[in-house]
Chain A
């Protein structure tokens, strides 16, 4: 087996050919996965909406309201839900950067009066087996049908009413901060989202 000799020309040629082939194949794969990727993201959002909101018959995804919030990087997403023209609640995406490994993003579904209907965790990088339990039924159960006005969204250690996850107080703090932010945005923008036509 004769190896290609390591002359300058050979080396440059070999690397050029490899990078060009690699570049084109990556571009091709990117092209064909672009649509499924967007679909997967949308499907994820839709299932999250269905889980946090009461029954609705509109398309919250297309009626999304984006609110600029001071101090937060991204604007807050609010999805209003209607059934037969009546406002039945809204899903608000709250986020906190104070998780054990950064961003914790949750979607909170509120009933018209502000009661929490359900919560779904959208993004988190917490410790598997500890902080990740925030996705578990046992943890999420305590928020359901509670009104943040008389159920303080803070860990019990900090004087609130949320039971922290074992060994993951920091993750729980981030979670409650995100939930609190979602609640505040819901209250602030309630007028805006309850009307069908904006």
Chain B
């Protein structure tokens, strides 16, 4: 290893400077697809965080055993196994969330955020750095998805975390619940996020 990594910075970079959703624009499929409510965004974020953490741990542990030419298929098998475990556990213990997230759980496998961290970080760094990297990146993803989901739920459904603050018959901006609203909300949040972090950087 060339130089020791500043672990604190390693952890926080995933939340602010290299936020997977707002800065690196990774994992857009679940970020746009499941964030129609704050709770869905949070659930998806936590599921992804778990898979990211576990795959980073395993990849950093076995990195020296895996021949370079087959590293991508090896990583994918590791990731896919954890995703399947998450899917089975959710179905057994949190069936409500399992139904809400539907097809997006198996699709965590192809979330480029996870393979990206395995390939770009965990396969080159120590266990400790990889864990902190996964936690930072995962939390950044959780926060981004929850915020995006909350904004869309507030504007599109007049509620937050299923708590309704407008009357049942009120007209809300349904657009924000629909797919186009996801793009619009994401774009404005990304602008806002980058604007705010630019000053501190």
Contact = CB atoms under 8 A, between A and B. Distances in A.
Contacts of A130: 174, 177-178
A26 B81 CA distance: 7
A127 interface: yes
A62 interface: no
B157 A129 contact: yes
Interface in A153-197: 166-167
A1 B178 contact: no
Given A129-B156, A129-B178, A167-B174, A4 B88 contact: no
Contact of A40 (B77, B78, B92, B157): B92
Interface residues of A, number: 33
In the A-B complex, the 5 residue pairs with the closest CB atoms: A129-B177, A128-B36, A36-B92, A33-B92, A6-B69
A23 B156 CA distance: 43
B44 to A, nearest CB: 13
Contacts, number: 90
Contacts of A33: 88-89, 91-93
A49 to B, nearest CB: 16
Nearest to A23: B81
A29 B89 contact: yes
Interface of B: 36-37, 40, 62-70, 73-74, 77-78, 80-81, 84-85, 88-89, 91-93, 95, 99, 102, 156-157, 168-169, 174, 177-178
B85 to A, nearest CB: 5
Interface stretch (A8-16, A65-73, A74-82, A111-119): A8-16
B102 A7 contact: no
15 contacts: A3-B64, A4-B68, A7-B67, A14-B67, A14-B74, A18-B66, A22-B81, A26-B81, A33-B89, A36-B92, A40-B92, A127-B178, A128-B37, A129-B156, A129-B174
A19 B68 contact: no
B91 A40 contact: yes
A83 interface: no
B95 A29 contact: no
Nearest to B68: A6
Interface string A23-46: 001100110010011001100100
